[in-house]
Structure 1
């Protein structure tokens, strides 16, 4: 029951962020939502593609040779995933960082993931979460560290939750 309520909460939140809010679609056809990573001292604006279906999550950022500085992909699940569940980098051409978030949008763990050049997915390492999660967010490698985002910080969705970036902020 708890997992069902969590899924409904995030589904409603994501629907509210995309419906009627001017949410765009990318070349991939996925909807995009504004978000903010909120730290103790700042909020960092991001633009996130939404991967909500199993097919969208499987494809992820495969085949992309670049990702805009403050853009990433949000992977939403219908129920909590175990700490052993992870992501891999098969056919992913750029290094990424991934944040694993709980049902409140709080980051439980951040991992660095390197591209896998192997032609066989079986040769690519997996990057398990190490914590239960219901959402994962992939960003360019170094994004979280460069912006002072760490475990315990929170992701909020929707333009109304964002503030203007701090002038002079170091970003990727």
Structure 2
């Protein structure tokens, strides 16, 4: 089991701000984006200074896909199907913990 300290971005303004302008993040820290219902979601890294990995997670808590994202880019990284959550962590965190698509994430906010 891995304990994550994730800030919650559930409002539009919080989701738009995301992790922009942050210069560092702790080893088990991240941000979970909560969407009102299953949605087709894409993320980008404009004004984001640290490399991140994002796990796109469906309403049951199952990881759909994981994408690595490079700092200060506008490349779109999209969920492969409608999702309810996106969890951003330091780049490589999911790989280091051997967390893969199809696995479940517990304790997500409702």
Q: Same fold (TM over 0.5)?
A: yes
Counterpart for residue 56 of structure 1: 14
Q: TM-score, normalised by structure 1?
A: 0.61
**Offset of residue 76 of structure 1:** 0.2
**Alignment root-mean-square deviation, CA:** 1.2
Gaps of 5+ in 2: none
| Deviation sequence 1:95-154 (CA, Å, 0-9, x none) | 00000001111101000000126xxxxxx2111112220100000000000000000111
| Deviation sequence 1:41-87 (CA, Å, 0-9, x none) | xx1111110000000000000000000000000000001112xx300
- Segments ≥4 residues shifted beyond 3 Å: none
Q: TM-score, normalised by structure 2?
A: 0.94
2:55 to 99, 111, 120: 99
Paired with 1:63 and 1:89, the residues of 2 have a C-alpha distance of 10
1:78 to 36, 51, 55: 36
1:110 aligns with 2:60: no
Larger Cα Rg: Structure 1 or Structure 2? 1
Which secondary structure does the structure 2 equivalent of 1:144 belong to? helix
| 8 Å contact from structure 1 (residues 109, 131) kept in 2 | no
Gaps of 5+ in 1: 1-42, 118-123, 159-172
Total equivalences in the alignment: 108
Q: Please state which structure has a larger fraction of its residues in helix.
A: 1
1:8-19 to structure 2, matched below 5 A, reads none
